[in-house]
Structure 1
Amino acid sequence: MSTSARRPGRPQRGTRTIDREMIGEATVRVLSTLGAGELSMSKIAAELGVRSQSLYHHVSTLSDAVNAARSVLCAAVDLRVFETDDWHESVVRFADTYYLAFSPLRQASSVFFLHRITDPTTLRVYESFLARAERAGLTGAPALQLLLDVEHSVFSLIFEQTSWSTLFSSEAIEQGDFPRLEASLPQRDLGSDAIRARVRKVALSLVRGV
């Protein structure tokens, strides 16, 4: 029997103790580095240094792993924004904290539109928004629609921020007769501060419209 000690470092594949939160965090990392199209149970397992079978003790499907990732991101949404007395300001601050939670995922955030929401953390965020809306006199379908509109605007701006540079062919614009388009593109400010300002502006417009 060998008495040599195993070298320190990353746990041997299949020996690491994991839980659902760790799977969610690993799923976020895979999405961030490889994108939604490359997400798989085997990639998540490799990120954790375990066998794929080990994941199924905690998540039953890839959709379940996506929900675990959504839970990790939604845990960063600051629900204290709903303690603000001004209803409009609450919605604006909610949009801002939601953007900060999901923007690191960039275009990969589109994966959340492909899987039904099951995780309690996300549902609690939605419930908190609706409870605050109720205190402001907005209930039922209109309140839910406002929530979805704010959420979709946030994801839309995240997508725009990360895809704008590849949306147009600079060569085609330069070779063609498109002077206004050519002059306008460099003027767009897609920095995080500029996008956050737009997130807040759109959210304010939405809440004022109901």
Structure 2
Amino acid sequence: MPAQARKSGRPRVAVLSRDLILETALNLLDKNGEHGAGIRDIARALDVRPSALYNHVSGQDDIIAGIRELVSDRIDVSGFDTLEWDDAVRQWARSYRLAFAAHPPTIGMLAVAQLKPKSRTSKMYDAVCAGLVKSGWPEAQVLNVIVALECFILGAALDHVAPDDMLNPGDDEDSTAFVGAYQARAEAHTDVRPTDAVFELGLEAMLAGLTTTYQSLKGDS
């Protein structure tokens, strides 16, 4: 009996690659949290042996660094080439918040993860640093500015995925000021989510303070 001809077409399992491993890890992280996106979990999702992953990643730390790159790729730094520094920061901060809010489990995990040198994440930071220095920020202050903004942005990303009524005081008769403030905000922001209004308020407040600091530093130079 002649050998059966091999069927043509695409293979049933996608060809393993670093990008596929990282995207799978990010999807598992979104679905199951940090403890459901380990090497064995990724291998199971891809229907391969765990050892096969090590042809493309060095281990769990490398996967975390890769996930950070995927999120960083969604952060817009283009404004630092063309806009005034404060408008560039607005653009960067807004995209930064949404990039992390799209993947809530990454917020706490990546906020404390060691940066991998020579990564796409480093290039993101390099673009921000270069833009701020070019705009006249003292080089010694640039990282302080970035980290201060990041503290606010990451908190805002968490707030973005929280329920809109998380702070609803109900009809608490012992907290009339709180109840009044909650109701007044709801009436004032009928066309926008509270989290978006809060973010824009906080961002503008930070930029106002940073602008004052910037002008003071420029005056001392």
Normalising by structure 2, report the TM-score.
Answer: 0.75
Q: What residue in structure 2 maps to residue 26 of structure 1?
A: 24
Cα deviation 1:40-82 (Å, max 9, x = unaligned) = 2222223333322222222222121011111112112222111
CA RMSD of aligned residues (A): 3.3
Which secondary structure state, in structure 2, belongs to the residue aligned with residue 60 of structure 1? coil
- Paired residues, what number? 205
Question: Is the CA contact (8 Å cut-off) linking 1:150 and 1:206 kept in structure 2?
Answer: no
The 1:51–1:184 alpha-carbon spacing in structure 2 relative to 1, beyond 3 Å, is farther
Amino acid of the structure 1 residue aligned with 2:197: A
Mapped partners of 2:19, 2:58: distance in 1: 14
Amino acid of the structure 2 residue aligned with 1:80: S
Q: What residue in structure 2 maps to residue 207 of structure 1?
A: 210
1:34 positional shift = 1.7
Q: What residue in structure 2 maps to residue 135 of structure 1?
A: 134
Mapped partners of 2:23, 2:206: distance in 1: 28
Cα deviation 1:6-50 (Å, max 9, x = unaligned) = 8x99845xxx42222222212221122222343322222233333
5+ residue gaps, structure 2 = 187-191, 214-221
Q: What residue in structure 1 maps to residue 96 of structure 2?
A: 98
Mapped partners of 2:167, 2:45: distance in 1: 34
Q: Is 185-194 or 19-28 further displaced after alignment?
A: 185-194
Q: What residue in structure 2 maps to residue 197 of structure 1?
A: 200
Cα deviation 1:95-150 (Å, max 9, x = unaligned) = 11222322201254211023211161000010111111111121333101111112
Mapped partners of 2:180, 2:6: distance in 1: 65
Normalising by structure 1, report the TM-score.
Answer: 0.78
Tell me which structure has the larger Cα radius of gyration.
Answer: 2
Amino acid of the structure 2 residue aligned with 1:177: D
Q: What residue in structure 2 maps to residue 38 of structure 1?
A: 36
Mapped partners of 2:103, 2:165: distance in 1: 17
The 1:135–1:69 alpha-carbon spacing in structure 2 relative to 1, beyond 3 Å, is same
Give the helix-richer structure, 1 or 2.
Answer: 1
Percent identical across equivalent pairs? 19
5+ residue gaps, structure 1 = none
